[in-house]
Amino acid sequence: MDTSGKVIKCRAAVAWEVGKPLSIEEVEVAPPRAHEVRVKIVATGICGTDDHVLKGSFPNIDYPVIPGHEGAGIVESIGEGVTGVKPGDKVIPLCLPQCGECSSCLNPDANCCLKTHLCEPQNLMPDKTSRFTCKGKQIHHFLWISTFSEYTVMPDSTIARIDAAAPLDKVCLLACGFSTGYGAAINTAKVKPGSTCAIFGLGGVGLSVVIGCKTAGASQIIGIDINKDKFTKAKEVGATECINPRDFRQPIQEVLTEMTGGGVDYSFEVVGDVDTMTAALASCHMGSGTCVVIGVPALGSHIPFDPMLLLTGRTWKGSILGGWKTKDSIPKLVSGYMEKKFNPDVLITHTLPFEKINEGFELLCAGKSICVRG
């Protein structure tokens, strides 16, 4: 049935207000306007950031909202002026745009496009209207892509065409979690062969950092988590040892400094907690260590820290979506996946039907899952 130009009725998971579970609703999805694309979402992952949205700790969100930003799908129809994709193309929606025109996009060393949600909220399409309604109410978009809907509309700056042979239920992880962690090691830290690394937080993103450190040839990869159930998988993907901060009396930074004879070359914070951010900085080697912050902290967080940690030569960096320029890089990462250069499939612990999405969040929060998709 040709649906182009028509309103599509489908299921979506709506967050009506902060602190409430998602509710599966029938929504109406309007056709794409100029420079917009409507996509049938085939698979979506659940990332820690979606949980921040449900709990109200992600900045600039308007409720009700359809969250989700780790999806893959097929173009259903395109609006006027869209040239990069056509109906039937396999695509990955980009939670970080690459507009191609702003000072970040023009800088070869930057990837945080100025059209990002952190600069200007993406709760409505660029023309400041929504394509979603439910029970007569306007529903907001999330990061312009809202992948927790069977159909969704996005601007053409936030979509990348991928290999037609790519398995969408697997490559959806490349939309955020895997690319974020892997890129933080490869692009942001630029981990060197023979180096020592410490990864705080072994969820889907942290494990992807482990994979990146291993690929870069690090010789010592220390996984740190307060949930020891995460250790088996971490070792499977490349951690050489794993430790639980709660097993020690000393602060974890002292433990790591002793373990490595002065501190690690690279540390990564993949929890989203200000205390682990400072512990990760203090764990890296004086004079040469680099700490990369990846975790999203609670809204309005501030860090008191000893500036001597920096003065003595450590580097503190942040990384958004692994430093990748998304539109250029996500299709290349999909090709890398197809060529078996890395294997994020091992991160998928559960596959659920869409209507069980709340169960996916429960598994994530109970520490029982790494990546859930449906």
Interacting residues with Zn ion (CB under 5 A): 47, 49, 99, 102, 105, 113, 176
Contact between 272 and ligand NAD (CB under 6 A)?
yes
Q: Which is nearer to ligand NAD, 131 or 325 (CB)?
A: 325
Helix (H), strand (E), coil (C) string for 99-129: CCCCHHHHCCCCCCCCCCCCCCCCCCCCCCC
> Residues near 203 by Cβ (< 8 Å), separated by ≥ 6?
48, 230, 270, 364, 370
In the list ligand NAD, Zn ion, none, the entry touching 225 (Cβ below 5 to 8 angstroms by class) is ligand NAD
Concatenating the DSSP letter of every residue in 214-256 gives HHTT-SEEEEE-S-GGGHHHHHHHT-SEEE-GGG-SS-HHHHH
Site string for ligand NAD, 122-141 (x = CB under 6 A): --------------------
For residue 44, give the 3-state DSSP assignment.
strand
- Of the candidate spans 99-107, 166-174, 225-233, 307-315, the one that interacts with ligand NAD by CB under 6 A turns out to be 225-233
CB-count exposure of residue 356 (10 Å: 0-12, 13-18, 19+): middle
Indicate if the alpha-carbon torsion angle 58, 59, 62, 66 is positive or negative: negative
Contact between 201 and ligand NAD (CB under 6 A)?
yes
Structure tokens belonging to residue 254 = 């002292």
Structure tokens belonging to residue 223 = 């996984």
CA R_g for the chain? 20
In the list Zn ion, ligand NAD, none, the entry touching 168 (Cβ below 5 to 8 angstroms by class) is none
- Of the candidate spans 76-84, 102-110, 269-277, 354-362, the one that interacts with ligand NAD by CB under 6 A turns out to be 269-277
Minimum CB–partner distance for residue 277 and ligand NAD (Å): 10
Distance CA 157, CA 159 (A): 6
End-to-end, the C-alpha distance of the chain in Å comes to 24
- Of the candidate spans 2-10, 175-183, 306-314, 326-334, the one that interacts with ligand NAD by CB under 6 A turns out to be 175-183
Residues 36-65 that bind ligand NAD (CB under 6 A): 47-49, 52
Minimum CB–partner distance for residue 204 and ligand NAD (Å): 4
In the list ligand NAD, Zn ion, none, the entry touching 52 (Cβ below 5 to 8 angstroms by class) is ligand NAD
Query: Interface residues with ligand NAD (CB under 6 A)?
Result: 47-49, 52, 176-177, 180, 200-206, 224-227, 230, 245, 270-273, 276, 294-296, 319-321, 364, 367
